[in-house]
């Protein structure tokens, strides 16, 4: 009776569903962290924009930083969605 119980603290990868779930969780975790970083960059560059005091070079630098962060955020969200659909399609 005791031999049938799996008391291992490590996750089991006996079925494809467990491995698929682990990949999805890992990808969503990485995408979430990258999204948080992108949002932080948007806020930081927004503060730089406000504090530019009319200096055209600083304003342009802050605008480009915001643009790059928004593009990065869109890419992260799209890639996480595409990979999630691909993993679901494989399993």
Work out the number of other CB atoms within 10 angstroms of the CB of residue 16.
10
Span 61-89, pLDDT tens digits: 999 999 999 999 999 999 888 888 887 77
Token digits for 26? 């890992």
Q: Is residue 69 part of a domain?
A: yes
How far apart (Å, rounded) are the C-alpha atoms in residues 55 and 22?
Answer: 49
The domain in which residue 63 lies consists of 32-91
C-alpha to C-alpha distance for 83 and 67, rounded to whole angstroms: 24
Q: Can you give the pTM of this predicted structure? A: 0.70
Residue 14: per-residue pLDDT: 52
- What's the structural domain count of the chain? 1
Residue 86, both tokens? 């691909």
Confidence of residue 23 (pLDDT cuts 50, 70, 90): confident
Of 25, 48, 44, 26, whose CA–CA distance to 36 is shortest? 44
Q: pLDDT (tens digit, 9 = 90+) per residue, 29-50?
A: 898 999 999 999 999 999 999 9
| Mean of pLDDT values over 12-31 | 73
């Amino acid at each position: 009776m005791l031999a049938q119980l799996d008391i291992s603290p490590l996750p089991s990868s006996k079925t494809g569903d467990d491995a698929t779930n682990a990949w999805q969780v890992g990808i969503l975790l990485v995408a979430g962290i990258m999204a948080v970083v992108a949002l932080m960059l948007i806020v930081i560059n927004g503060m730089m924009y406000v504090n530019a005091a009319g200096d055209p070079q600083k304003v342009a630098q802050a605008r480009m930083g915001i643009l790059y962060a928004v593009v990065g955020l869109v890419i992260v969200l799209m890639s996480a969605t595409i990979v999630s659909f691909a993993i679901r399609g494989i399993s």
